[in-house]
Amino acid sequence: MPKNISWRKLVQKLRRMGFDGPYAGGRHLFMSKGKMKLRIPNPHQSDISGGLIAEILREADISPKDWENS
């Protein structure tokens, strides 16, 4: 399971994996890669939990191994 990380690190890692953004969209920000739109949590002071990171990775079809190597 992924570790807790800051919002900034989440965005940096997703950009390294080919995502663009973040862009404003309704209640949450999103990042895009091709036709895929990936909702990400809004920035806040505390870290993003490993459980939420795992959920985001499942939605983006990113393996935990690829996540750790990026």
Domain ranges of the chain: 7-69
Cα separation, 67 vs 57, whole angstroms:
8
> Domain spanning 7-69: which CATH class is it, in words?
alpha beta
pLDDT tens digits along 1-27: 678 899 999 999 999 999 999 999 788
Q: What is the pTM of this model?
A: 0.89
pLDDT tens digits along 55-65: 999 999 999 88
Cα separation, 56 vs 10, whole angstroms:
10
Report the run of H or E that residue 13 belongs to, with start and end.
Answer: helix 7-16
Q: Please report the pLDDT score of residue 70 as a whole number.
A: 82
Token representation of residue 35: 């036709």
